[in-house]
Amino acid sequence: MLVVCTDVRVQRTYPGQSGINPLPMDWGNKDPQKRGPVVVSRGQTTIRRRNAIGAHGGSYSIYYALAVASKEIKVDHRPDFTNTEPAANLGPFPQWADKKKIVSMDPLGHLAPWLFSETIEKENADCQPAITRAHMKLPELEQSVREGRLVPDGKVCLNESGELAVTKFAVEPVWYLPGVAERFGIDEGSLRRSLFEHTGGSYPELITRGDIKLFLPPIGGLTVYCFGDPAKMSDEKVRLALRVHDECNGSDVFGSDICTCRPYLIFGIEEAVKEAQKGGSGVVIYFRKEGRALGEVTKYLVYNARKRGLDRASEYFKRTENIAGVKDMRFQALMPDILHWLGIKKIDRMLSMSNMKHDAIVSQGIPIHERVELPESWMPEDSRVEIDAKITAGYFTTGHRMTEEELAAVKGRSWEE
């Protein structure tokens, strides 16, 4: 027998409802105490005081729910933030107080337990982003040291064995809905309605609580990898090399050769390290947007469609559109927020061929002085179909752009081969 107990106060509330009094939130206020912390509900205790819809942890919030349901964690658990302070200082920067420049993350989140200690204790808010230091070992970088492409510096970021010292920033999404809507050129009501409908009605307060302007979407976040002194990221007097990379599990982790993702990631890290060694700053930002944000299942269906037919660059995006209805859902318009949070004001070397990433960054007032494409020698043979299709669709290159006729003449390998 299944018994379901519901409480309409949790499922749906309305502005002005008796006992509902959200914590004040003035997004973009330069005074942290006037802006206030981001607080969402966990159970009945904070339902009346939250100022955000959703749950901390993004997609991991479901695992928290499982932990509660299986009694692996107590629902009233309060985090102990002792010794969890950021491992590197960051900001504050003027961009943190500009509600048009940062709309998809909490610029004060990494300091929340210390800026809002009393509120955090009472309302059970979380700390995010988080900043730590670590070491990175990659076989390609060890080989690069052996071959002389990278030279150990002993103190900046690279030792004799090819091990890298890195500062890492983990960020989860917090959407300021009016700002997100403006960034996409739509009205806030349309955004809220679409989010409500296409999450299966999971967040009814997107519709009923127009007074709550923050939404913590159940999606993946990002990680920043900074090589060299983090303070130099915001220093306009030194050079900055940047790679913005969108997740590709098959290539990044397991080495699939059907795309250029891991090669470009490694190339980006190498170039970032070289810039740091020369006294500048090197940054790689890793977004969780698997399969152009279409997901790994859709990606594999596209692979099947490609390999069971003629895998041609001229057909590359059509294969995706036939299945998903769109060729790309990464929507780079929100991507530059992390650059504003890091205090980045210009990019000397952009290690990317993507026209969408370039245009999104420049439209946010951050100039890009040089675009660096992936060298031919780094491209796996089976990735040519993808890279040729992207170049023809607008990706940056200093080389030859293939015509539609040339693309159609390029034969791909069948699956059986």
User: Pairing mode, if any, of strands 214-216 and 222-227?
Assistant: unpaired
Residue 193's contacts (CB-CB under 8 Å, 6 or more residues apart) are 206, 207
Nearest to 406 by CA among 394, 387, 390, 392: 392
> Residue 316 — pLDDT band, cuts 50, 70, 90?
confident
3-state secondary structure of 349: strand
Strands of the sheet with 175-176, listed across from one edge = 52-54, 214-216, 175-176
How many helices, marked H, and strands, marked E, lie in the chain? 17, 9
Q: Are 290 and 253 in contact (CB under 8 A)?
A: no
Q: Report helix angle 139-147 to 261-277, nearest 10.
A: 50
Active site members: 328, 330
Between residues 4 and 169, the one the model is more confident about: 169
**Averaged pLDDT of the chain:** 88
- Is pLDDT of 409 > 70? no
* Type of residue numbered 268: G
- Structural tokens at position 30: 């330069």
DSSP assigned state of 17:
-
- Is pLDDT of 404 > 70? no
Please state, in angstroms and rounded to a whole number, the distance separating the CA atoms of residues 299 and 352. Answer: 21
pLDDT digits (tens, 9 = 90+) for 257-289: 999 999 999 999 999 999 999 999 999 999 999
Q: Would you put residue 365 in left (φ > 0), alpha (ψ -120 to 50) or beta?
A: left
For the ranges 179-193, 269-283, 380-394, which has the lowest average pLDDT? 380-394
For the ranges 111-115, 139-143, 154-158, 389-393, which has the lowest average pLDDT? 389-393
- Is pLDDT of 416 > 70? no
Please state, in angstroms and rounded to a whole number, the distance separating the CA atoms of residues 295 and 269. Answer: 25
Report the share of the chain in percent with pLDDT over 90.
Answer: 65
> Residue 79 — pLDDT band, cuts 50, 70, 90?
confident
Please state, in angstroms and rounded to a whole number, the distance separating the CA atoms of residues 285 and 337. Answer: 12
Please state, in angstroms and rounded to a whole number, the distance separating the CA atoms of residues 220 and 247. Answer: 10
Between residues 286 and 155, the one the model is more confident about: 286
3-state secondary structure of 312: coil
Q: How many CB atoms lie within 10 A of CB 11?
A: 10
Enclosing H/E stretch for 181: helix 177-183
Question: Residue 132 forms beta bridges with which residues?
Answer: 168
Q: Residue 285 phi/psi, 5° resolution?
A: -115, 125
Residue 9's contacts (CB-CB under 8 Å, 6 or more residues apart) are 44, 47
Between residues 390 and 121, the one the model is more confident about: 390
> Residue 405 — pLDDT band, cuts 50, 70, 90?
low
For residue 389, the model assigns a pLDDT of 83
Q: pTM for the whole thing?
A: 0.90
- Is pLDDT of 188 > 90? yes
For the ranges 143-152, 330-339, 394-403, which has the lowest average pLDDT? 394-403
For residue 411, the model assigns a pLDDT of 47
For residue 127, the model assigns a pLDDT of 75
For the ranges 54-58, 75-79, 211-215, 409-413, which has the lowest average pLDDT? 409-413
- Is pLDDT of 124 > 80? no
- Is pLDDT of 1 > 50? no
Please state, in angstroms and rounded to a whole number, the distance separating the CA atoms of residues 375 and 120. Answer: 49
- Structural tokens at position 311: 């895998």
- Structural tokens at position 102: 């940062």
For residue 80, the model assigns a pLDDT of 86
For the ranges 184-193, 282-291, 347-356, 378-387, which has the lowest average pLDDT? 378-387
- Is pLDDT of 413 > 90? no
> Residue 390 — pLDDT band, cuts 50, 70, 90?
confident
Please state, in angstroms and rounded to a whole number, the distance separating the CA atoms of residues 361 and 338. Answer: 10
Please state, in angstroms and rounded to a whole number, the distance separating the CA atoms of residues 327 and 318. Answer: 8
